[in-house]
Amino acid sequence: MTERSRLARWVLPDGVEPDPRFTLANERTFLAWIRTSLAFLAGGIALEAFTAQAFASPLRTVLAVLVIGIGLLIAAGAGFRWIRVERSMRTGNPLPIPAIVPLLGFGAVAAAIAAVLMVLLTTQGP
């Protein structure tokens, strides 16, 4: 058996190597959260770039920064969740509760409100 890298020993210091299928499933879940994060980042950029007619500049910028910030938090949460789940599997502890799920829910509500406002404001006209 080869020795684990210094980074692997630092991030995952304890426990027994889990079944590779579980580690790969954890990685796929991490990547799903990253895709969600990228969608929020793209949505925030699109909000700033393409909604000049719908929102005044300060409101548009605040909404875009909010959506981008949620994407950033989801990406950070995905990384921390991956580590926590991997450590739990290695030590035989229960899996942690996904703390980023409420953030994602809040983000989805914020994005939906922004979309509804955009539609309402563009259909009213000047």
The whole domain housing 43 covers: 18-124
Does 3 fall in a domain? no
Q: CB under 8 Å to 9, separation ≥6 — which residues?
A: none
* Residue 12 domain-assigned (yes or no): no
Question: What Rg, from alpha-carbon coordinates, does the chain have?
Answer: 20
8 A C-beta contact, residue 72 and residue 37 = yes
pLDDT tens figures, 80-91: 999 999 999 999
pLDDT over 90 at 21, yes or no:
yes
What is the structure's pLDDT at 1?
58
Average the pLDDT over 63-89 and give the result. 91
Q: Is residue 66 part of a domain?
A: yes
Is residue 10 in some structural domain? no
Total domains in the chain come to 1
Average pLDDT over residues 44-53: 84
Q: Is 109 domain-assigned?
A: yes
Distance CA 122, CA 13 (A): 55
pLDDT averaged over the chain?
85
For residue 116 the two structure tokens come to 């509804």
Can you tell me the distance from the alpha carbon of 87 to that of 7, in angstroms, rounded to the nearest whole number?
14
User: To 5 degrees, how large is the angle CA 67–CA 71–CA 72?
Assistant: 115
Average the pLDDT over each of 13-17, 88-92, 103-107 and give the range with the smallest value.
103-107
